[in-house]
Structure 1
Amino acid sequence: MSDRPLGAQISHALKARGVEVIFGIPGVHNVELYRGIEEAGLRHVLTRHEQGAGFMADGYARATGKPGVAYVITGPGLTNIMTPMGQARSDSVPMLVISSCLTRPDRHMGRYQLHEMRDQEAAAATVTDWSLTAPDGPGAWRLLDRAFAEFAATRPGPKHIQVPIDVLEAPAPPAPRPPAAPVRAVAPPEAAARAAEMLRAARRPLFVFGGGAAGAAAPARRLMARTGAASFVSFAGRGVIPGSDPLNFGSYLGRSEAPGIIATADLVLAVGTTLSECDMWRPHLGHDCPMIRVDIDPAMLADEHRAELPVLGDARAFLEVLEEALGAHRAAPGWTAAEVAAARVRMRAETDAERPHIAPICDALREVLPPETTVYSDMTQFAYVALEVWDMEEPGRWHHPYGYGTLGYGLPAAIGGKIGLGDRPVIAIAGDYGFHYTMQELGVAVELGLNLPILLWDNGKLKEIEHWMEQSQIAPNAVVARNPDFCALARAFGARAAAPRSRAALQAAVTEALAGDGPTLIHMTAETAS
């Protein structure tokens, strides 16, 4: 391909690097990026807001394992997508945002031009792994290859490449062939040998698996069986060990009983987890024994959760080597299924008492959803309960805005996930207030004909915030907003709608929605639990 405008060639370079879908909104500054989209054979999804584009890219990436890519304009386009970028950074999601920026002579000049920011590159750097400017065509290709190399080999996260308008418009040489992808760091054999020695000496080993262990489910399950270990999983790690495993305490790390349980272990192995505030709601895990910690991010190995054996490397590779290093070892079980089951009953009861009416609906939904269903949830009380009581049998099937905790995630992320997963079932769960943030993206689901059930939990207020105010002895205020007729709103977009008032009716509505030819909003209230 002869030299053509760089903007027209970026889509070709992305296609050569495995990208299939772009989420975004065209504008006068980034229009050159759109010159090459169709020619390159890429699919473009026009979103209703750049925040929707970012969350769709996030949902697509979580569903497929491929980087989610978005095109946005200078200034407001970038600031609108910065919230999803922050969420992607918090949850280790591979995302690439390509934006325009002012021409090279105009950057940082303070002339109050269209879409001008004082320092767009620096602004995006606050919510990304890095934010850099492509000075020319060769510089753009180097940044692209750096992004994809890091997606493959390091802890995933969002990257931002901005291209000045004059650079987008200028002729540039075509991108070189993609380089070979690097492999992830593998821990040295001596680390596995030391971990095996510690495991052989343990009588009550306890694993804690996070989202970073999602690709390590097979060796993790074999190790659990061989060592008689019990486990907890973080919210992002649900499914690494099946919820049905008799020695799996589940995702109850934040429950009041969890520290006492963990304190009875004589060895803790934390694999692919940040041991974050949002999983535990306390500063310390609760153990009083040695810890082995495995993570791809060295920063995690130097945080306050200090381990006797910190291991830098890929979780799956390390657990496979650990299996081999254990030899024929099979431990006499120090944990019993009865103690785990009893603890789970107590912790579920605590969850149910905190936020009544929701757990029975979760049970009813689990009964009718196909086992391969992927769920995207928003920041809502329904999700907070489900993250604890809804066991997963496989990893990577429930996605939530865990750390950054942004409202408005569920619907657009589910749209991106559905685009990535095709015929596989996907559902979205949102609360009434959070739905307001991105409800305009319902138009995208209608436009694309996605058979996407959207479960809307309506308690008529920001009930979780009201609860926190009451706990803090603050008279609740600013927690009630006027809601629309959500079913009428959905129909106005061209979607279906249902308002079941019993669990049986809810099950029927979800089953029908999964078989439909477009999105269905399913309006739920506490009355649905009857």
Structure 2
Amino acid sequence: MRPLGVELAFMLQDREVDTVFGIPGVHNIEIYRGVEQAGIRHVLTRHEQGAGFMADGYARATGKPGVCFVISGPGLTNILTPMGQAYSDSVPMLVISTVLDETAARRGPLHQMRDQEGAGRTVADWSETARTPEAAYQLLDRAFAEFLAVRPRPKSLHVPIAVLGGEAPAFPAGGMAEGQIGETWDGHISALAQALRQARRPLFLFGGGARWIGFAGPVLERWNAASMTTYAGRGVVPPGAPLHFGSYLARPSSAEALSRADAIFVFGSELAQGDLWRESLGTDTRLFRVDIDAEVLARPGQYPIYGDAFGVFDDLSRSVEEPLETDWTPAEIAATRARWKAEIDAERPGIVPVCDALSAALPENTMIFSDMTQFAYAAKEVWDMPKPGLWHHPTGFGTLGYALPAAIGGALGHDGPVMAIAGDYGFQYTIQELGTAAELGLSLPILLWDNNALGEIRDNMISAQISPVAVTLKNPEWRHLAAAYGCGYAEPASLGDLTAILNSAFTAGRPTLIRATPALGA
């Protein structure tokens, strides 16, 4: 028999986990006993928050669960923010933490919490303590099964220190085979097909749950159907599609555009506040909704279909093979898009030209991880993606400090170039992970949008007639900071200079910090 920590490491390897993120501590060293033996790559982060965001980025880039090892107490509390982000954005993440063996009768041990399991439950899909090896095995397999079978969200597995170091029986072989949600939607395809054929202005709205649909463009053109995406759904419909409204759903006047439709088909989006920035879609047009979240489907005023977005769309495309005639015209949609883009350019001067330059110059398969920054807020609307799953943003939880560590995780999982986009303030939340990126030798460009302020909050204060307070900051000398971590540094003087620097950074063999200011796009 081997210690449970060793068995868990080998069990993860058996379930095709090849990379974990975390920090070893006195309470969780037993799980590290088996990491090298199992051939698992461990990425040492500078903070547990960085570990969680890296696991998030890795999961988004690969489609596989991101796995983290953290200690009891502060190790778990430090990773709660990334777990909340993963929950909000439907990212599969497994956080394995130790927990004290006993907390009721004794006070004051190292890393003690009153209710560690309860703390995990506030941001995870579930938070459970495995008090036996058998329970640990069952909970681990439950996590992987649910990542495949239902809406993927983070799981928090706690293992008492003594249990982790104690002898354990061999872990069970196998696990849940890959598959998809049961095809419970068969009876609904005819209803969807009928509604589509009868509609004169059908509109398809794709969210992040539809990112596996890589063939929507030609099918929508055949149907002459209009389309729109959430930020997370960008790329499901290719750039240049003649009847595509783009990712302008959060524009207030998108409600008017949606009202022009006589049937709306929503695939893989809960249409949360971060998608709409208003209370509802703003239209009473008949709504057909495909999702794997029963809570989303339970909302009134819609025709709900429980199922996988890819599977339902594929079946619908086979059911309606003929071209359809509709009343949509490319001219009206192009005019609407142009008006929305002009609004954004006026609201956030200097950003749209930079987005246009980068969109034209970056390699097609570049994966982007952005932070909560004005640059990203504008870019998410005006920058079309050539295919889905390429731009990742902390939309739902809205946490600062996401971009850099998530891009590190993404770079370890994506077979192509990866870049990070952060604002000068949010970047400093997880700036220490520059050390992790440098240590890994990642060719990672980091576009730093530097306006010497919490720009969005400043502008909101001014708009609300509040004197701007606590929104300016003293930034470090970025050049020296980059050098201290062994990273490259650049300050582009023009848009052409920016694109050249970025493309060189993709092969630099180290991270490159690229400072850009609003003057660059003026």
- TM-score of the superposed pair, with normalisation by structure 1: 0.97
| 1:469–1:516 Cα change, 3 Å | same
Alignment of 1:336-355 (within 5 A): 336-355=329-348
Task: Pick the aligned partner of 1:264 from 260, 267, 275.
Answer: 260
Q: How far apart are residue 246 of structure 1 and its match?
A: 1.1
The answer to whether 1:79 aligns with 2:71 is no
Q: Which residue of 2 aligns with 1:468?
A: 460
Alignment of 1:18-167 (within 5 A): 18-103=16-101, 106-109=102-105, 111-167=107-163
Contact 1:431–1:457 (CA under 8 A) maintained in structure 2? yes
Bigger mean CA deviation after superposition, 340-349 or 502-511 = 502-511
- TM-score of the superposed pair, with normalisation by structure 2: 0.98
Distance 1:8 1:125 in 2: 26
Contact 1:98–1:163 (CA under 8 A) maintained in structure 2? yes
Q: Which residue of 2 aligns with 1:512?
A: 504
Contact 1:264–1:287 (CA under 8 A) maintained in structure 2? no
Q: Which residue of 2 aligns with 1:527?
A: 519
Task: Pick the aligned partner of 2:425 from 433, 439, 459.
Answer: 433
Distance 2:448 2:262 in 1: 43
Q: Which residue of 1 aligns with 2:248?
A: 252
Distance 2:371 2:297 in 1: 30
Q: Which residue of 2 aligns with 1:458?
A: 450
Distance 1:402 1:436 in 2: 19
Contact 1:46–1:444 (CA under 8 A) maintained in structure 2? yes
Task: Pick the aligned partner of 1:196 from 193, 196, 207.
Answer: 193
Distance 1:217 1:421 in 2: 17
Q: How far apart are residue 456 of structure 1 and its match?
A: 0.2
Contact 1:131–1:160 (CA under 8 A) maintained in structure 2? yes
Q: SS of the residue aligned with 2:257?
A: helix
Contact 1:502–1:527 (CA under 8 A) maintained in structure 2? no
Counterpart residue type for residue 495 of structure 1: C
Task: Pick the aligned partner of 2:202 from 182, 201, 205.
Answer: 205
Q: Which residue of 2 aligns with 1:229?
A: 225
Q: Deviations over 1:126-175 (max 9, x none)?
A: 10100000111111000011000001111111001000001001100111
Q: How far apart are residue 44 of structure 1 and its match?
A: 0.3
Distance 1:331 1:242 in 2: 20
Q: Which residue of 1 aligns with 2:325?
A: 332
Distance 2:150 2:104 in 1: 32
Q: Which residue of 1 aligns with 2:476?
A: 484
Give percent identity, aligned residues only: 54
Distance 1:180 1:433 in 2: 43
Distance 1:157 1:239 in 2: 23
Distance 1:345 1:228 in 2: 20
Q: Paired residues, what number? A: 521
Q: Which residue of 2 aligns with 1:280?
A: 276
Distance 1:149 1:364 in 2: 43
Q: Deviations over 1:352-388 (max 9, x none)?
A: 1111101101111122210010000000000001000
Q: Deviations over 1:77-127 (max 9, x none)?
A: 000000000000000000000000001xx2334502100010000001010
Distance 1:102 1:249 in 2: 53
Q: Deviations over 1:200-255 (max 9, x none)?
A: 1100001100000011232x334312321101100000000112211110000111
Bigger mean CA deviation after superposition, 170-179 or 71-80 = 170-179
Q: SS of the residue aligned with 2:439?
A: helix
Q: Which residue of 2 aligns with 1:183?
A: 180
Contact 1:145–1:178 (CA under 8 A) maintained in structure 2? no
Distance 1:324 1:515 in 2: 43
Gaps of 5+ in 2: none
Bigger mean CA deviation after superposition, 200-209 or 221-230 = 221-230
Bigger mean CA deviation after superposition, 237-246 or 281-290 = 281-290
The answer to whether 1:496 aligns with 2:488 is yes
Q: SS of the residue aligned with 1:155?
A: coil
